[in-house]
Every structure is written in structure tokens, then in C-alpha cells.
Chains A and B, each alone.
Chain A
């Protein structure tokens, strides 16, 4: 229907100002759509990076063995071993699994750890802390310790400890000072403070300490294996699938971060729903705008439509002319709006450099193609009503106008 396209184009170019205004109206709708997509997407990205960016995306934790049961020959339970306070369960084959997990697509870091609780003593002051033993060289694999250091180094070695700024203040500690760490297993070690960090997370800064894996082995009496393997992914939204894959690959109970994060997921879903509503309103505005403009055009061109019908144009041809106008308006408005949206988003920092106090706009989540496609579809749907009205024009009445 090249000829219908020609006529549609001619009608649009015949009223340049009107067409320009219409295209601009559609472009504004598309701009809002893209802006909202980038904002909602960026906001979700920002919230996730702030809440789960520094945590393990998939975690394998050693399961405590069931308490031992002493059963008499007649089947009576004689005694049950009480579950110990100290962690005894280990992932004995961790050394085997780590290289295997590293090959899983999407995995960017694997950190075998020994975790437990302890008491930090400095003179007469005592603080209850959590202790994490990390492999030297993998200190920043999960929590970006290097990035949060305010004093000293995150590098862990034998006899060294790194702790949070709040804890250091509470115990009046300075770099290079020695302190005593007693684990929940009752083993003590004298360690030198080699680094102080500040993550901005009160809990971590006040109670988390980091030592080398070998120091943790001594403290918790674990000559081999680890208690936990933390895994970081390139795409934290792929945690569920990756956890399943690791489970299938290793037989270990890999748990994605989304388990137990229902509230966060609900909040993100609610935010996404809000975005859908706003984007839907933008699309509805486009549809109403195009439909009303084309209805006006139909009314204005009634005599011409009558002439066309009289000299051999079928109803289908007339419908095609008006639907094509709608599609062209949608396409032009979509492309213009997408270009404007992209240009408007350019000055915002990239998703890797979101700053507090600025809008976390993610230019990569503008949904440009989707915006253009939905706009064209919306404009086509919007033009069907005017097109049908045009096709129903009675040539006799219209020519007489």
C-alpha cells in the first residue's frame, strides 16, 4: 500500500505545525516513559547495590550435624548430645569446590571463610564481636574492605586483625596496637590492629572483625575446611538460578540472597509497579492525544475522504491511510522522545558511580526500544477509531459539505 503511505505522508506534511505539535506531544510522553524507566531501574539498582551489593549473593553454609543419639538395645533413647555453642560443622571439601564454583557462569568472586563469635579485649575493655577469617588476597571479594579502609590496609596476614571504626573508637584502639581476641571455642590470640574501615553500616562497623583464614583456623580449632563459602555474582538478579546451578554442581546447600529478603523484594516490586503505572499513564496520554488529533483530522478532511470514496477508494484504503498516519506519528514521536530522553539522561552519572544526593538515573535502563515499539503500537491502536470513522464517511454527504 505504497500509495496509502504517500497520501498519509502528504496529509502529515500538509499541516506541518499541527503535525509537529502532535509529534512533540507524543515525544513528551515517550520522554516521560524513558525517564521513568531509567529512574525506577536506577533506583532499584541503587537500592540493591546499597543493601546487597556488599553481601554474598549466594552462600554455602556448613550444616551442623544432628546431635548424636545414644540408643539402648531395646530402642530407648538413653542420651542426646547437646548442640555445642561452638561451630563444629565444616565444609571439609571447600578446597575442591572453590575452583569448580569459580567456573560457574556469572560468578565473579568466591570467598571461603571461617566465621564465629569472640570477645575482643583491650586492657579492661571487652567487646563481643563476630570474627570472619578470610583468605589473604580475597579480603575484598565480597565486602569491599579495600574501598572502606580509613586507616591502614585491608591486607590480612598471620597475627593481624582489621576492624570497624566504631569498634576501634569504643576500645580506643589505634593502628599498630595489640589486642586479645578470644574465640567462642575458648582459644585466644594476640593480634595487631592493621586496618580500620568504615562501611557506614553501624552493625558491621561496631562488631565485625576480620582475620586471616589461618588465624581463624587456630581460633576456632578448624585445622581444615571452612564454615562458609560466599559467592558474588555479576548480576545479583541471577542469584536464584546460579544457586540452583551450584547446588546441582556441588551437592552443597547454596542459598541465594533473595531467601530471607522478601521485604526488600516486595519493596522493589512495589516500586516497579509504581513505575508501570506511571509509564502506562504516559502511554494512555499518547493514545488519547493521537486519537483526538486524528479524529479532528478526519472531521476536517471529510469532503476529501468523500471524494476519494467517490472515485474508487475503498473503505480499507481510507482506514489504511489514517492508520498509517497514526503509525508515522507514533514512530516520529517515539524516535524524537527516545532521542530527547537519551540526551537528558547523558549528564547523570553511570550506574557504577551513583552518588548520594543525586537522582540515581540509569541510562542503560531507558527501555528505548520498548518505548518506541509501545508508542507505535499505541498510536496505531489510537488511529483505528478515527480511521473507522473516516471509512464510514458517506461520500454523498461529504461532497455536499
Chain B
């Protein structure tokens, strides 16, 4: 397997002096292309911090972080923004859609913001993804009026819009009922299988974790299993 992402000796501290908290304590991890991994661990173990760093939204205090052969620790904000847009998709626990936009506009956003406009090709891709998510009747529906499950499926579609190599999902089913959660996980598994997109899913739910081929357990700031 080819390594998509590598982090080693990752340290992240917050605060200074007596208030200093070390959340990651030399964590090392490798994700291969096409993996579907669950990130497990108790609250405060450093899962969210790790996802945030892997998503290039935060830099580690020290350690190495590389993806697709690029050193992301040394990159500046502009380069990281571009990298994130092209290579990483996000699915958040609370979907985090843009409420004043329709479902299709939300999905198309990552491409439109890069191109400077909503191209017909991008809109076609957006419709295709929403159709795949079972939301073909909701293209022009205001995202604020969608149900929780529908919003999360729109969020998955948005994460896939630019065909990223890696999708980071932070408790993607944590706010959904069991049926909706399984529906979202089935979609993720299908995309992983069909398109080879790598997924790293942070979850507390053992059943959700069981749907992933690999489980990574984080405890006290390091990978424990």
C-alpha cells in the first residue's frame, strides 16, 4: 500500500507555563491510500486535535506532518488553504452547512471558491453527488430546511466535491438517529470502495468503528492501538 499521510513525533501543547496542556505527546501515524479507518479514544485523548492538525487547520507544536509527499508543517497559510481545498474533505458532527445556501450551492462551494464561480461542470458534479446521496429532490432546497440526516449527507457530498484523497470525519453520525447514521456510513463505505477515497472517522460508537477496516485508538496523546 502507498502511504497517503504520515505524522511522526507529533506534539501539540496549548497554553504556556503552569497552564500548559500537552494534548499530543509524540504521536505517530500513517494512513495508506484507500484506507477507511476509525479513530477511537476517550474524550480528551487528543482525537479532535489530531484531526484538526491532519486537516491542516492547526499546526503541531513539533513533529512531522506530510501528505502526498508535501511537508505541511513548513507550508504557509495560503498554501495550506489551497492544499486543504484540493486534497482534504471535512465532515463535521454538526454538518456545518452554510444556512443561507441551497443544498446544491453548499456542495458546489469547494470548487466554486477555487474557480471564482459556479461552473456548469461543478454544478453537474454537485447534482451527481447529491443524487448518489439520495437527495435528487433537494438540489435547490434551502439547507436550513433539511432534516439532520439530509444535512449530514449534503456535508458528505460537499466533502467529496473536489475528489479529495482524504476525508476527515469528526463524529459524523454523533448527532443522527441509528437509521440515519447507518445510511451515512453506508454511503461513506460505498465511496471508499468505489473511488478509493481515504476516510479517517473519529467516533465513540463501537458499531460505527466496526464498519471500518482499521481502528486506531488514541489515548493520552499517543496511538495506543
Contacts and interface: CB of A to CB of B under 8 A. Distances in A.
A395 interface: yes
Contacts of B98: 304, 307-308
A314 to B, nearest CB: 5
A293 B81 CA distance: 28
Contacts of A4: 116
A312 interface: yes
Interface of B: 52, 55, 57-58, 77-78, 81-82, 84-86, 89-90, 92, 96-101, 109-110, 112-118, 158, 162
A78 interface: no
A14 B100 CA distance: 6
Nearest to A313: B113
A399 B158 CA distance: 16
Interface string A299-318: 00001101111111111010
Nearest to B49: A396
Given A3-B112, A3-B117, A314 B100 contact: no
A317 B115 CA distance: 12
Contacts of A315: 77-78, 81
A11 interface: yes
Point out which of A2, A10, A304, A311 has the most chain B C-beta atoms below 10 A from its C-beta: A311
Nearest 8 CB-CB pairings of A with B:
A312-B85, A14-B100, A2-B117, A314-B81, A307-B96, A313-B113, A311-B110, A3-B112
Contacts of B162: 312
Given A307-B98, A312-B113, A314-B81, 8 more contacts: A3-B115, A4-B116, A312-B114, A314-B78, A314-B82, A315-B77, A317-B113, A399-B92
A242 B117 CA distance: 56
A interface, by DSSP: helix, strand, loop or mixed?
Answer: helix
A1 interface: yes
B84 A312 contact: yes
Nearest to B81: A314
Given A314-B81, A315-B77, A396-B58, A308 B52 contact: no
Contacts of A6: 117-118
Interface residues of A, number: 24
B77 A308 contact: no
B81 A312 contact: yes
Nearest to A10: B100
28 contacts: A3-B112, A3-B117, A4-B116, A6-B117, A6-B118, A10-B100, A10-B101, A11-B100, A304-B99, A307-B96, A307-B98, A310-B90, A311-B84, A311-B89, A311-B90, A311-B113, A311-B158, A312-B82, A312-B84, A312-B85, A312-B114, A312-B162, A313-B113, A314-B81, A314-B82, A317-B113, A396-B57, A399-B96
Contacts of A310: 55, 57, 84, 90
Contact of B81 (A1, A2, A304, A309): A309
A140 B33 CA distance: 97
Contacts of B84: 310-312
Given A311-B158, A312-B81, A314-B81, A3 B118 contact: yes
A10 B98 CA distance: 11
A307 to B, nearest CB: 5
A324 to B, nearest CB: 13
A3 B116 contact: yes
Point out which of A6, A308, A314 has the most chain B C-beta atoms below 10 A from its C-beta: A314
A187 to B, nearest CB: 89
Interface in A276-315: 303-304, 306-315
Contacts of B90: 310-311
A315 B98 CA distance: 17
Nearest to A307: B96
